[in-house]
Structure 1
Amino acid sequence: MRKLILASLLAAVPLIPATAFADPTPEELNVKARQGFFEMLSLNMGPLAAMAKGDMPYDEATAVLHASNIESLTRYYLPIHFVPGTSTDDMENTGALPKIWDDLDGVKEKFAGLQQAAVGVGEAVKGGQQNVGPVVQQLGGACKACHDNYRKK
């Protein structure tokens, strides 16, 4: 019985595509880095947005933590991960529109806008729920400025 199971497993090995064992390409790694950045941004924006809407009770320490995380995240220079060959025309697992590479300076400008919007947000959310909404709007506006032009809907 053990020999039959072993033989079955060994017979199935050629059916596994070679790509299943391949290392990720530089393009895949850059997409993964971008998506990881945006996931971290989203995970920190979520609680702030919930507090701003009153869906989550305001807690100053939590608000400061998430806002400060966003401020720190935006110090990372994301545009280095917009490498050629990583748009929706090239890969399935990305929302990055090809026009990013036609207007990379515009993308960098929008990212600089996000960086600017994030300056001081850790302090700005202190003092009550009424202070969280303007921060969320400021950050959300900076995010939207890029998403409207460069992200697949």
Structure 2
Amino acid sequence: MAKRLLTSLTLMATMAAGASFADGHIAGAIKARQGQMQLYAHYLGVLGGMARGNTEYNAEAAQAAADSLLAVASISGATLWPQGSDMDSVEGTRAKAAIWENFADVGAKSMAVTTAAANMATAAGTDLESLRAAMGDLGGTCGACHKAYRGR
């Protein structure tokens, strides 16, 4: 009897640890991808401030922000979006479950962001007009994914 109880308790502890790991993995992935989005927002803010004329254009600062933005866009997101990390499954995220239903589209939109970030990295340090021209495409690619796959 004691052996069965010990076996049952061991099994329950193992299952709880597995669930805890899964929960921790999902929470870590959400935190990491939100950090990536915060970096996007920061560098887009630097570039957008210059594009709107709220901040004086500085070619060196614009280039640094654009290069950093491209680096952030180049981070592999493969482990940042585990199944079950959507807003219907866990709190603390605005990712819609539709992401996992349309992962090919999400991948295409991600590639578009990376391409737009590369174009910004080419343009940003050139002059203000080049930065402004690249800004529309960059903002559009970000918005396309957010409109489809980010909840409010």
Matched residue, 1:93: 92
State the alpha-carbon separation in 1 of the partners of residues 79 and 143 from structure 2.
20
Match of 2:39 in 1: 40
Cα distance in 2, alignment partners of residues 52 and 120 from structure 1: 15
RMSD after superposition: 1.6
The answer for the alignment partner of 2:64 in structure 1 is: 65
CA distance in structure 2 between the partners assigned to 1:92 and 1:132 by the alignment: 37
Q: Residue 121 of structure 2 aligns to which amino acid in structure 1?
A: G
TM-score (norm 2): 0.81
After superposing on structure 2, the runs of 4+ consecutive aligned residues of structure 1 that deviate more than 4 Å are none
The aligned amino acid for 1:42 is A
Q: Where does structure 1 lack aligned partners over 5 or more consecutive residues?
A: 1-21
Whichever residue aligns with residue 117 of structure 1, its letter is: A
SS in 2 for 1:52: helix
1:117 corresponds to 2:116: yes
Q: Does 1:29 align with 2:28?
A: yes
Residue 138 of structure 1 corresponds to 137
Q: Quick check: 1:95–1:152 contact (8 Å CA) kept in 2? A: yes
Kindly state the Cα deviation for residue 126 of structure 1 after the two structures are TM-superposed: 2.2
Cα distance in 2 between the residues matched to 1:139 and 1:145:
10
Note if contact 1:52-1:132 (Cα within 8 Å) is conserved in structure 2: yes
Q: Tell me how far apart the structure 2 counterparts of residues 79 and 122 of structure 1 sit (CA, whole Å).
A: 24
Structure 1 Cα separation of the partners of residues 105 and 26 of structure 2 = 21
> C-alpha offsets along residues 19-44 of structure 1, whole Å, 9 cap, x if unaligned?
xxx88710000001110110011110
Which amino acid in the other structure matches residue 145 of structure 1?
A
Number of residues of Structure 1 aligned to a counterpart in Structure 2: 132
Q: Given that residues 59 and 124 in structure 2 are in contact (C-alpha distance below 8 angstroms), is that contact kept between their aligned partners in structure 1?
A: yes
SS at match of 1:78: coil
Q: Which runs of 5+ in 2 are unaligned?
A: 1-19
2:123, 2:79 → 1: CA distance? 29
- Residues 76-95 of structure 1: CA deviation (Å, up to 9, x unaligned): 12243111111010112101
Q: Deviation per CA, 1:87-111: give whole Å up to 9, x if none.
A: 0101121010011111111111110
Q: Which amino acid aligns with 1:43?
A: H
